[in-house]
Structure 1
């Protein structure tokens, strides 16, 4: 026993745990890359994964998803749901404070004060205010009084209340099964009223939250710099303060070839490895290459109100039959992905393995082209956001479409422009992808395809089918899981038949980190949703 105790003391002195791993080290700057300049750092306005990747470090929600997608507490310690699922009461974590300083040590307007339930009430009212015009406010339109507040009939949300400083209560207008999952989405973070009002329209460029890292600077199209929040509330398993890192530097590197070279020379610590570097990366870094299925779908959208696809289901179906998804994934993507028969990705509740999707059938595509009024084919322009990966996929599908007489011209634009023009309905044919905001089929079928959400709210194709709308509305209000499952599967089969999308593939997510990176875990939502609270560098 004495020899064991002596050995354990020696190990602790040397900074080594009993299982043989070095103890976490403090310090160091995490160096990362973003593949585009984020459209927003204001979480209330952000709808894309690039913005979210930064926001997850600065801001925090009541609940969050763990690395496997399970819902766990974050700034709420616990919650209770009443019998008919219309009242949800949260007990808040004490000792959580807003950032006291940002941008070179300048004091924030809130002074680093403690967060209370009253801040959450103000924040939800701010998010849902018609003056704020948050594109994701409708995610919580089931809160009691939402419509009255949006229409100016009242000056507050009736369904959000502070029972005391550490008890927050939501009342819903009716049951809404995904509500708790929705609250993990990166729009529904707590905000300091003082700083939001101080900066006004410039709040986007001076964000303040409660997260492990705080904002320092944003040099447009160059980099975003965050520093450690010295007053962060969380501790590690041994009671040591978090985070371990001194800060984060996100460089904006659009070209994947440049990103790969920067990783190889050690200038960035995490890399999204795309072809032609994928196989080399897996071989060279087998212990720090992470990969897993991802809750996301890659698709091409066809505008249902404009261009050749409007009021022409046969043409949209032809676009689906004309492509070989298996060949695309195998030859262009090194097997990374699963052919998409429909909207919902594998692993999500209500995913239907027996869904009747589209096979590769060029003769069927030609037949449908004739029915659609294009016996000799037609010409269309595909718009996609600038990326070598998107370009390779587009070129491969372009060649497949040519085999059935469809001439696809390619147009690449910057991500922000792509989002804006597709949201406004200006683009007849466009690339798009969707990664789960919250882990529920509601986030795919209702958000992306219900006609209530046409445009920037998610329904970029402007799809409208009254039966589909009814089914997805019923499903989000149904609390019986088996009934919900049947409703979603029926709705998905309808939208596959109507074909507002070219259903292409379901994502896998992967990430490569340097060998000296420790405590890194790849989330099921994708690399963009990672939080670096417990990551440390063994340099």
Structure 2
């Protein structure tokens, strides 16, 4: 019988966990001392790892929970290095090219097709695939996993997983097995981009989950992915080994070790000392010296935006002229050059350049302090005003928020707007943001966001969205988002988002600042990695040596 789960899972953040701070020579020396002391207890290299082994210094403070979708508890970094390595979804992003925005391609589903009104999708499953424990991948395994995510009447339902699934599963009405290698998923309404939203819905071995239980499976995960779980020491490391029987071919690298190193100073020191051979998010000030020392410093555009979300329920941000004025008052290029050292690019509108919806017409802002002052005067604030900004001190995709917001504070002061910066811990901010609140009822909040899953457009700007923290509302924009769910052609749907972005440019619900370029640094011994235009990364085609 079809499952009718009626999921209403809480949407949770999915952004790569990154912590960046500018650091001093003293900080670097302390970090090196810390690494030397930790090596006495067994570092990545001293433990005998070597040869064809990739050792990644993550920004996360711990290894993510290893159970399928729960890996996103450490943001998109958790999905990048755990979810996408241990598991597969029905679909996935093509991460093999650096010069193209990744498209959705088959993964555990070989193909899919919707009905005429895009409310029912049939997925043909890939034959001959087995989980790491030998359990066959088939429709029964798919239904078991969907029950864990969605079916509140099933004994296999897992509430925490349901909540973590968030946007990717909200809107699925029912699903059922057609035959051993075919399933059908029905939705509450048209859902043209369902295959994209399913890319982060991962599948675990029913045999292992039943044997270990939810908590046990989180410590001994079993998927179908390119790497198999080997060992875990919480707070220190996770080891994965190549899956010799991976359906798409054995990975070229033999072993992947994840090391949580949240402090950027310590991450860079670990790279320089050879303790790791890959780090996420180098401190921008270190980029020139890392390049000169022969390390591979990689960047690429991806679907990321770093805005201030205005609280439009409060004056003066209920006035569009004020909101637009601030967008003309900030020097984005100077921020990119002087603070971020080229690891980001100016955001002149609401669509990142690495989003399929981007068109040059979407870039609507620039740097013109005189225009900013004129708009403020027209709005009745010739002498400016005072405002508060809630911002995270670190966290997923937030780059270096304190120096960045301090620079913006200086720019805005030049046009008469005095900004009181109110730092808050990242997790605490998200607790408020994802129930639609701005911490401390501030006038604006700074946060890292994305449109990688198309449903995020409506999440950030839809009138009826529970996480539209700024309380922006425009019926024209709502209509474009509703129409997008009914349009099967990707280019036509992207055009609708571009139209929405141009309306957003006129309404100015955010102060748009920069788009991150996803910097990471690899040792010279790492070969064959492609830096995609994505939050995610394909580790299967690289080697070390």
Q: Which of the pair has more CA radius of gyration?
A: 1
Q: Which residue of 2 aligns with 1:512?
A: 521
State the shift of 1:316 in Å: 2.4
Residue 90 (structure 1) aligned with residue 99 (structure 2): no
Alpha carbons of 1:218 and 1:26: their partners in 2 closer, same or farther (altered >3 Å)? closer
State the shift of 1:399 in Å: 1.3
Q: Give per-residue Cα distances to partners, 1:307-349, cap 9 Å, x unaligned.
A: 5566343332232222111222222223343322222112432
Residue 453 (structure 1) aligned with residue 465 (structure 2): yes
Of 310-319 and 266-275, more deviation after overlay is shown by 310-319
State the shift of 1:432 in Å: 1.7
State the shift of 1:203 in Å: 6.1
Residue 278 (structure 1) aligned with residue 284 (structure 2): no
Residue 49 (structure 1) aligned with residue 63 (structure 2): no
Alpha carbons of 1:326 and 1:242: their partners in 2 closer, same or farther (altered >3 Å)? closer
Alpha carbons of 1:270 and 1:477: their partners in 2 closer, same or farther (altered >3 Å)? same
In structure 2, the gaps of 5 or more residues are 1-48, 153-158
1:90 partner SS: strand
In structure 1, the gaps of 5 or more residues are 1-24, 101-111, 147-156
Alpha carbons of 1:363 and 1:296: their partners in 2 closer, same or farther (altered >3 Å)? same
Partners of 1:344 and 1:444 within 8 A in 2:
no
Pairing partner for 1:324 from 326, 331, 342: 331
Q: Which residue of 2 aligns with 1:108?
A: none
Residue 419 (structure 1) aligned with residue 441 (structure 2): no
State the shift of 1:462 in Å: 3.7
Q: Which residue of 2 aligns with 1:315?
A: 322
Q: Which residue of 2 aligns with 1:484?
A: 493
Residue 404 (structure 1) aligned with residue 418 (structure 2): no
1:131-530 → structure 2 map (5 Å cutoff):
131-132=159-160, 133-143=162-172, 146=173, 157=174, 160-172=175-187, 175-184=190-199, 186=200, 188-193=201-206, 196=209, 199-200=213-214, 207-211=221-225, 212-214=227-229, 216-219=231-234, 222-228=235-241, 232-234=245-247, 236=249, 241-242=250-251, 244-248=253-257, 250-271=258-279, 272-285=281-294, 288-305=296-313, 308=315, 311-355=318-362, 357-370=364-377, 374=381, 375-386=383-394, 389-424=400-435, 425-427=437-439, 428=442, 429-438=444-453, 442-455=454-467, 459-480=468-489, 483-526=492-535, 529-530=536-537
Residue 61 (structure 1) aligned with residue 89 (structure 2): yes
Q: Distance in 2 between matches of 1:452 and 1:125?
A: 28
Q: How many residues align?
A: 470
Partners of 1:232 and 1:242 within 8 A in 2:
no
1:294 partner SS: coil
Partners of 1:217 and 1:224 within 8 A in 2:
yes
Residue 34 (structure 1) aligned with residue 58 (structure 2): yes
Q: Distance in 2 between matches of 1:359 and 1:293?
A: 20
State the shift of 1:393 in Å: 1.4
Partners of 2:68 and 2:204 within 8 A in 1:
no
Pairing partner for 1:79 from 87, 109, 112: 112
Q: Distance in 2 between matches of 1:436 and 1:214?
A: 31
Partners of 1:314 and 1:369 within 8 A in 2:
yes
TM-score under structure 2 normalisation?
0.76
